[in-house]
Amino acid sequence: MRQTSIKRQVDWVTILLYLIMVVCGWLSIYSATYDFGAESYSMFDFSNRAGKQFVWIVTSFVLIGILLLIDYKIFNSIITNFAYIAVALLLLLTIFIAPDIKGSRSWLVFGPISFQPAELAKVTTALAVARFISVKGRITEWKNFFLVCLIVFVPLIFIVLQNEAGTALVFLAFFLVFYREGMSGIVLLSGVFAILLFVILVLFGDVPLENVKGDLGIIIAMSAILLVQFFYTFFYKKEKRKPAWIMLGGVAGFALISYVLNFWFTINYTYVALFTVLASVLYWGIFAFIKRSTRLRNLVIFIVVAITFSFVTDYIFDSVLQPHQQIRIKILLNMVDDPSGAGYNVNQSKIAIGSGRLLGKGFLQGTQTKLNYVPEQATDFIFCTIGEEFGFVGVVFVLLLFLFFLLRLLHIAERQRDTFSRVFAYGVLSVFFFHIMINIGMVVGLMPVIGIPLPFFSYGGSSLWAFTTLLFILLRLDASRSEIMR
């Protein structure tokens, strides 16, 4: 009865998309690693990456069968908590026992098999987040929000300590889930604003000013913080815009006085900008106290955090980020030109994609990838193989395939009848969206190179198993939605 029910209820459209992506990925790996000079190069030869990927695909099918036969209630049980704790401890242990591979201690090696616990952590974290929210309800309370953030940041921190910053960033995708479950949009906007401040401070921090004294990066960052304050309070209540206009007038007046005084005295505009923002903190703090306004209190907290972040950005960039990560960011921001060094991967990737033109060079005919001009062409940069061999048409096909897949996951998420299944579905959707967006973005030079795989396309057993597990746990829950009461 259970098998018959699953066959009838499982989402076959998503399974079809999965099979298409897995097969296309396998063919892409074979093409990316194909050796022109080899007398025989079989897709089923276990000595090459295509053959090894075939083994992982076959074992994934076995995994799918197991997941679809498991009772769906197990996923939302105490076992989920134990699994999360066990994987978190494994991540911690990996820091100390894993071998150093290209500066990272994130792979556990068992003879010919390598396994990356961070991939498994995506699954257990998604389940743990779903279980927590299903028990606690919407995360509008600060206590619940703090605890659910802790669930995400524990594995994130351990993975960072393994020197896998790219993989760790994937866990930030869960904030999209939090937003769906009641987190204020201000938190997401604050994250976007933090990225903007970081870019401003890195990009303009060393730009000299003419005829005046000050740090251009800090001046622009403080100006951005003042603009956010104005627009936030201006559109807060249309009938009460006077405080916003008073603030804007005060800032303009102080800037004008500083400009005039600079004719007689040397004014450091860094201090002017900082003093203006600190004055705005006092201004809105008084208003928040008098009006007992939670919104204005949150604005004051936002300003203080933004100021603090602005002054620790240099430390984060110089001391926290690794040298290769620093140079990648500078290349992305066009601060340095390094076509033969750190920017080599991206430059060769764009050349490979561009050389494909409209229809591509044909399957197994990509010279850029076959002659190893593109490093990591079977893993992180697999997308450029598609662009070179199948051209614009092939790229559009893969992008549409991913688009249909993500929309299907969104459809599945919205039709769930219980909180656990819905939250887990959005967790799966967010992880896939983040991977696809970042991987393709870095291959075409729109994102920094952080080294995360393209789902179902990049070579690797750990990632394929993790993505397959995420997807088919969701499909198992979805197949049982008729049994779950609202």
Claim to verify: residue 37 and residue 71 sit in the same structural domain: yes
Total domains, the chain: 2
Claim to verify: residue 244 and residue 96 sit in the same structural domain: no
Stated pTM of the model: 0.86
pLDDT the model gives residue 156: 94
> Is 259 within a domain?
yes
Claim to verify: residue 273 and residue 402 sit in the same structural domain: no
Nearest to 427 by CA among 471, 375, 384, 378: 471
Claim to verify: residue 20 and residue 166 sit in the same structural domain: yes
Claim to verify: residue 39 and residue 157 sit in the same structural domain: yes
Claim to verify: residue 113 and residue 245 sit in the same structural domain: no
Going 308 to 311 to 316 to 317, the CA torsion angle's sign is positive
> Is 87 within a domain?
yes
Nearest to 68 by CA among 486, 431, 485, 471: 471
> Is 383 within a domain?
yes
The residues that bridge with 114 in the sheet, in sequence order, are: 109
Claim to verify: residue 137 and residue 67 sit in the same structural domain: yes
Choose one of 297, 321, 345: the last residue of a domain: 321
> Is 192 within a domain?
no
> Is 197 within a domain?
no
> Is 216 within a domain?
yes
pLDDT the model gives residue 211: 67
Claim to verify: residue 181 and residue 222 sit in the same structural domain: no
Range of the domain at 304: 205-321
Cβ contact 214:268 at 8 Å: yes
**Helix, strand or coil for residue 268?**
strand
Distance between CA atoms of 438 and 424, rounded to whole angstroms?
A: 21
Claim to verify: residue 475 and residue 366 sit in the same structural domain: yes
Nearest to 75 by CA among 400, 478, 482, 364: 478
Choose one of 321, 337, 365: the last residue of a domain: 321
Taking only the tens of pLDDT, the chain with its 486 residues reads 444 467 778 889 999 999 999 999 999 998 888 776 665 667 777 778 888 899 999 999 999 999 999 988 899 888 999 999 999 999 999 999 888 777 778 888 877 778 889 999 999 999 999 999 999 877 877 888 899 999 999 999 999 888 888 888 899 999 999 988 888 777 888 888 888 888 888 888 777 776 677 788 888 999 999 998 888 888 766 656 788 888 888 888 888 888 888 778 777 888 888 999 999 999 889 888 888 887 888 888 888 999 999 888 888 888 777 777 777 777 777 676 665 555 677 778 888 888 888 888 888 777 776 666 677 777 888 898 899 889 899 999 999 999 999 999 999 999 998 899 999 999 999 999 999 999 999 888 888 778 789 999 999 888 999 999 999 999 999 988 877 654
Nearest to 414 by CA among 401, 402, 404, 423: 423
> Is 195 within a domain?
no
Choose one of 260, 290, 321: the last residue of a domain: 321
- Helical H runs in 333-376? 344-355, 367-370
Claim to verify: residue 246 and residue 262 sit in the same structural domain: yes
> Is 199 within a domain?
no
Claim to verify: residue 468 and residue 386 sit in the same structural domain: yes
For 99, 242, 322, the CA distances from 315, given in Å and listed in that order, are 29, 38, 12
Distance between CA atoms of 307 and 328, rounded to whole angstroms?
A: 26
Burial status of residue 242 (CB atoms within 10 A of its CB: 0-12, 13-18, 19 or more) = exposed
Burial status of residue 39 (CB atoms within 10 A of its CB: 0-12, 13-18, 19 or more) = exposed
Claim to verify: residue 387 and residue 292 sit in the same structural domain: no
Type of residue numbered 269: Y
The residues that bridge with 109 in the sheet, in sequence order, are: 114
